[in-house]
Every structure is written in C-alpha cells, then in structure tokens.
C-alpha cells in the first residue's frame, strides 16, 4: 500500500501532461468512445441555478463552492471546449499554453477521481437532469486512456483481468475456504444434511461473493450461507467465477469493465444457473445488472439480483421466519447509492428490517434521496483518499447521529467499510452491520 501511496502523490504533483499532443489525441479517442449525445447536451444545458449544491455531500460537508456539482461540471466543459470541442478548440488563443493545459487537466483529474463519488444525487435535484457523476466517469475514461488513475483503480483491475478476481485467489482457495466455513458452521446449524454447494449445475441461484469475504471476512459469507440454507435455496458457488467487484467501472473503461463482467456471465453459462445473486456490493451490482445490459444493448436472459432482493423474497414468502428485536434498536438503514438511487432497490431493506425490529428509524433524507456515505466512486479502494473520505462523510455522519440509531445496517461492502470508519472518526457510538448479519442472527430455526 505504501507504494500505491507514492504512486498517487506522484500523479498529483507531477507535470502529468508532457507530450501533450499525444496525450490529448488519446483522450479524444476515449471521449469519442464513451460520450453520448445525451451527455453532450447535458454539458451545454446548465442554467447555473445552483440547486445541485445541496445535493452533493462534498458541498454539504464542507461548504466549499468549488465542490458543488456545477463547479465540477465546469471543470469538464472548460477542458472540453478548449481541447476537444470540434469547433471551439480550433479558435485562435483558446487552447492556452502548456502550463495552462496542465493546470486545467490537474483540476479535472481531482474533480473526477477525488471530488466525486458518482453517487448520482445531483441528477435527481437538477431541474435539467444533469448527472455530473456521469460526466466525471467520462473524464475518468479519458485519464485512464493515458494511464493516469489512482492506484486503487489500477492494480485491482489488472489483477482481476489476469487472475479472474481482484484478490488474486484461485478456484482451489475458494473451495478450501468454503470447506473450512462448512466445518465452522456445522456446530451452529443443527442439520446433518448441511452442506455448502459449489459448481452444481442447473441451480436456481449462482451466488457471486466478494473476494474479500473469501479471503479476509468469511463470517460475512457465513451469514449469507446460513440465510440461504434456512430458506432451502437451490444455490451454488462457482470455483470459476467468484468476484462481484468491478473497479473498471470506476475507471470509466468499458472494455475492462466488460472483461470482468464476462467472467461472471461465463460462470453462470458454465453452470447453467437460472439466476445470478450478487453479494452486497453497490458498484458490482451496477456493473453487472445495468452497465452490461447497456453495453450489450439488450436485457440479460436471466435475473441478476442483489442478495437483499433475494432475502426480501424469502421473508415475504415465509421461506425464512425472523424473530423480532434480537438486536437492540433503534436500527436504521443506509441506502447505498448504486443499490437504491441508481438501482431502484428501496423497499426491500425496509420490508426486511421492519420484520426483525420494532424500532426501525429512517435517516433524513433516505431512499433515492439519501446522501452518499463518502466512500463510493472507488475512493474506498485507494489508501490516499482516506482523509477525503472522512471529511466528505461528515454529511452522512450527521444524518446517522440524528437518527439516534444503535445499529446502521447496509447492503454494500464499501458503504459498510466507510460507515465503520465514520463511526470511529466522528465518535457516533453505533455498530455498522451488513444487513445479512441482523437477518442471520434473527432467523427462527
């Protein structure tokens, strides 16, 4: 990680755009590949009303006008008009000198990779529907094309593409870990037929874990397995594909993103599973569920769900029964941006949590209007952005504090990590839990 830290400092400090003409040509190719007419019209339709400021947790947390969505949008349009616009960029004097180019590109780099978590809240509040996050993803794609990106979005993607998962695990690692988990769980699960299923053909559900759950946090997997076992789910893991994560989405690099998605789709194809259920991970859900469909231009032929949707089905159909108030409330729920606002999964967590607690409290705002936790956009993956994440997570910390909750449940690996860090940083006195932990702990067996 120390090496990564140096890499990021070097990017921030260096004159990054030596040989500018060559770099601009590559960036223009990436722009052409990724821009849409909708995005071009978005860039030109801002009426400077300022309404987006209050949507952005960066501005809410700091009051800094340079961190409003419109300020970030303008950093892009300035660069676009000067260097890439088909007409304006040819006007005499508009390009400026090399120092000016470097300074403008550095400002945009910071806006795209550090000052925006691609949470999408500004798009909801903007009367013109401008999604600054989408524009920042476009900027990211241009920087990625010239090899300028944070270490946390670089190395994990290389490893994912080379090894098939970003933690560099092998299929044998997965099988061995699951065997160990089974032994650990046998005492807890009073069922002689209990097993953990791997590489079963024609299962109803291919369960796609997060590789860190396999490598570092197996107790999270235990919660998922306990829930699926209690529901009598016909599920399987795959020893070929076992990675929900997709940091290439946050690179803005569709080619890399699809290589990672394809591994998941191939795993399903090999096993002929009837659906894919993803471990709670916001951006991974976005990439496989929505971005892949956009890329292919057609819908998946099978359902792709986040685990929380499947658990809601277990609860509402009576496949699992939950005891109330095993966990001391109040309990609140943090809506991950890619699961709720950008994924449409808002009711499921509330149905589940209200079944297991009499003290459910909402954050304000919540659901589609919830504030980002500050760890999205790939920021949680890069060590050097820790300070930014804490500073920009202040809005979320205040939301949580106002609920008076003892437990904050959520359904995204990165959100969980970020909220745990916020808890320490802002002394919130809460416990942050994956929703599956409270479900697994409340099951009536």
Q: Which residues bind ligand SF4 (CB under 6 A)?
A: 46-52, 55-56, 58, 69-70, 72-73, 116-122, 126, 128, 130, 132-133, 372
Shortest Cβ 380–ligand SF4 spacing (Å) = 14
Shortest Cβ 372–ligand SF4 spacing (Å) = 6
Shortest Cβ 16–ligand SF4 spacing (Å) = 22
Residue closer to ligand SF4 (CB basis): 151 or 338: 338
Residue closer to ligand SF4 (CB basis): 130 or 228: 130
Residue closer to ligand SF4 (CB basis): 115 or 243: 115
Shortest Cβ 280–ligand SF4 spacing (Å) = 21
Distance separating alpha carbons of residues 181 and 214, to the nearest angstrom: 10
Question: Angle at the Cα of 35 (from 33 to 37), degrees rounded to 5?
Answer: 130
Shortest Cβ 1–ligand SF4 spacing (Å) = 25
Shortest Cβ 298–ligand SF4 spacing (Å) = 27
Closest CB to ligand SF4: residue number: 133
Residue closer to ligand SF4 (CB basis): 116 or 174: 116
Shortest Cβ 117–ligand SF4 spacing (Å) = 5
Residue closer to ligand SF4 (CB basis): 126 or 230: 126
Residue closer to ligand SF4 (CB basis): 122 or 196: 122
Residue closer to ligand SF4 (CB basis): 122 or 245: 122
């Amino acid at each position: 990680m120390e090496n990564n830290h140096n890499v990021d400092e070097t990017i921030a400090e260096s004159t990054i755009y030596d040989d500018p003409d060559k770099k601009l040509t590559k960036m223009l190719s990436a722009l052409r590949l990724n821009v849409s007419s909708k995005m071009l019209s978005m860039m030109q339709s801002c009426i400077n009303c300022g309404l987006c400021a209050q949507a952005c947790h960066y501005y809410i947390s700091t009051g800094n006008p340079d961190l409003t969505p419109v300020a970030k949008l303008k950093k892009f349009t300035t660069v676009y008009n000067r260097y890439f616009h088909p007409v304006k960029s040819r006007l005499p004097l508009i390009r400026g000198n090399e120092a000016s180019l470097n300074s403008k590109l550095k400002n945009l780099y910071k806006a795209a990779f550090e000052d925006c978590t691609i949470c999408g809240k500004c798009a909801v509040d903007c009367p013109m529907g401008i999604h600054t996050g989408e524009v920042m993803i476009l900027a990211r794609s241009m920087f990625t094309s010239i090899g300028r990106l944070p270490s946390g979005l670089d190395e994990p993607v290389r490893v994912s593409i080379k090894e098939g998962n970003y933690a560099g695990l092998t299929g044998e690692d997965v099988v061995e870990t699951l065997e160990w988990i089974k032994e650990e769980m046998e005492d807890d699960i009073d069922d002689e037929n209990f097993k953990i299923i791997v590489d079963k053909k024609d299962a109803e559900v291919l369960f796609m874990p997060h590789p860190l759950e396999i490598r570092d946090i197996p107790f999270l997997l235990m919660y998922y397995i306990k829930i699926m076992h209690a529901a009598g789910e016909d599920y399987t893991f795959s020893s070929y594909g076992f990675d929900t994560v997709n940091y290439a989405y946050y690179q803005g690099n569709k080619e890399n993103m699809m290589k990672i998605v394809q591994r998941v789709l191939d795993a399903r194809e090999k096993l002929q599973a009837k659906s894919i259920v993803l471990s709670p991970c916001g951006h991974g859900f976005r990439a496989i569920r929505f971005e892949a469909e956009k890329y292919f231009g057609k819908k998946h032929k099978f359902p792709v769900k986040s685990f929380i949707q499947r658990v809601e089905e277990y609860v509402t159909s009576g496949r699992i029964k939950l005891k109330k108030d095993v966990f001391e409330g109040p309990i609140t729920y943090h809506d991950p941006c890619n699961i709720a606002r950008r994924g449409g999964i808002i009711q499921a967590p509330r149905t589940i949590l209200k079944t297991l607690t009499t003290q459910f409290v909402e954050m304000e705002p919540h659901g589609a209007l919830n504030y980002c936790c500050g760890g999205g956009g790939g920021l949680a993956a890069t060590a050097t952005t820790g300070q930014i994440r804490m500073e920009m997570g202040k809005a979320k910390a205040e939301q949580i504090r106002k609920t008076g909750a003892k437990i904050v449940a959520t359904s995204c690996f990165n959100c969980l990590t970020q909220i745990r860090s916020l808890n320490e940083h802002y002394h919130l006195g809460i416990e942050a839990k994956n929703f599956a932990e409270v479900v697994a702990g409340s099951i009536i067996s």
